[in-house]
Amino acid sequence: MAQLLVYHNPNCSKSRATLALLEENEVEAEIIHYLETPPDIDELKQLLARLGMGIRELLRRGEPDYSELGLHDETLSEEIIFDLVCRHPILIQRPIVVKGDAAIIARPPETVLAFIEDAG
């Protein structure tokens, strides 16, 4: 089985539930506490490619940082958004589960079970 990575926020109930499902199903994963060690721009771009989405789709619009940083402004360049997300990783949807060249945002957490079967 390919190495599984989970970008995890221990304060997020969905992230905790995803890890619990993996553990219940005896699936080992490398846990990345992305708030402590945020992805750099290159890593973020690789994640987005695996997710098949753009940077704006990854943003947590309900976070106070989203409004405070003016991310609702559609004229902001992707370069600026990438920089802000790397400096404010709380803006990243979670949990992100990566296996090989594929990734999902495990919301709801149960989606991780089909993902690990399909990606396996």
* Distance from the first to the final alpha carbon of the chain: 6
The yes-or-no answer on residue 12 being catalytic is: yes
pLDDT at 98 over 90: yes
* Model pLDDT for residues 51-64, shown as the tens digit of each residue: 999 999 999 999 99
Catalytic: which of 5, 12, 51, 90? 12
Q: Using CA atoms, how far apart are residues 71 and 83, in angstroms rounded to an integer?
A: 12
Domains of the chain in sequence order: 4-119 (3.40.30.10)
Q: Is the pTM here over 0.85, yes or no?
A: yes
- Amino acid code (one letter) for 54: G
For the cut 60, the answer to whether the pLDDT of residue 2 exceeds it is no
Confidence check: pLDDT of 107 > 70: yes
Identity of the amino acid at 60: R
**pLDDT > 70 fraction of the chain, expressed in percent and rounded:** 97
